[in-house]
Amino acid sequence: MVRGRKKRRSDVYRTDFSRISVYPGFQRPSPQQGLKKFKSGDEIKVRVTGQDDDGRPTGMIKGFTVVLEGADVEPGAEVRAVITRVSGKTIYARPVE
């Protein structure tokens, strides 16, 4: 026996077996797959799809809900806006034009 090295046994629970397994392994998502990080001051383009309970126009962009504050636009319009704050998966923005 070699000192300082463990003897490896060959059994079904070795990590080598998981590489040839038909079941997918759990992988950490890469930064390219994750959601984009938005911060205040960023300029975005969003298509208005509806209104929230307070009557403000809303839209979606890359998994985030965008709420336009101080805008009076109809659904279907595309608006350029500047982000004022981000709270969880909700972006609050004001229109530029």
Asked, for residue 15, whether it belongs to a domain, the answer is no
Q: Is the pTM of this model over 0.75?
A: no
Domain of residue 80, residue span: 35-95
CA atoms within 13 A on the CB side of 94: 5
Asked, for residue 6, whether it belongs to a domain, the answer is no
Specify the pairing of strand 90-95 against strand 78-87.
antiparallel
When divided into structural domains, the chain yields a total of 1
Which stretches does DSSP call E strand in the chain? 43-51, 57-61, 64-68, 78-87, 90-95
Does the CA dihedral 72-76-81-83 come out positive or negative?
Answer: positive
Asked, for residue 10, whether it belongs to a domain, the answer is no
pLDDT (tens digit, 0 to 9) for every residue of the chain, 97 residues total? 556 666 665 555 555 555 565 656 555 555 544 456 888 999 999 999 999 999 999 999 988 999 999 888 889 999 999 999 999 899 999 999 6
Asked, for residue 60, whether it belongs to a domain, the answer is yes
CATH of the domain at 63: 2.40.50.140
Asked, for residue 83, whether it belongs to a domain, the answer is yes
